[in-house]
Amino acid sequence: MKLQLLVLGVVLALLNACSTTSRQIVGEKRTPISPEGVIIYREKPVNYEQIAFIQASSKNSLAFSEEAMQNVIIDRLKQEAANLGANGVLLQQTEEEITGSIGSGSGISGRNVGIGIGLSFPITNQFTRAVAIYVTPLSDSLSTQAEPINNELNKP
């Protein structure tokens, strides 16, 4: 029995270590929606409710360029928000984290002399904090909502 609990604990710890998104519920969850229905905002819309603080990283992806890492993160944020029933994601902060490095070296020697050379490249991931929000529509007589980001981020 103790062995089974130990194995279960190890499996849960490994699954948690592989997590690329996280959330902290701060409002009312809604019925899940499609990620394509989630809009990315850089500025606060006029009328919204916070559902959760969410985070996503480009970890465990094959993205190497900055743009590719951002696309992975946006997809993951949209999926997490959609699962909570949020129709928007309000971006907060993006950071770069170094999660390891790849190195190689070589050397030669002869007659009491040795020469070596080595290279090392960092493995970086991006990490973004955001808020999953539900944006409520305003009537035409009220002021307009903040404009969503007008670029590739909001395309499915």
SS3 string, the chain, reads: CHHHHHHHHHHHHHHHHCCCEEEEECCCCCCCCCHHHCEEECCCCCCEEEEEEEEEECCCCCCCCHHHHHHHHHHHHHHHHHHCCCCEEEEEEEEEEEEEEEEEEEEEEECCEEEEEEEEEEEEEEEEEEEEEEECCCCCCCCCCCCCCCCHHHCC
How high is the pLDDT of residue 101?
A: 74
**What pTM was computed for the model?**
0.66
- Flag residues of the chain having pLDDT under 50: 8, 11-17, 140-143, 150-151
What is the pLDDT, as a whole number, of residue 148?
57
Residue 62 has a pLDDT of 74
> How much is the pLDDT for 141?
41
pLDDT of 100: 73
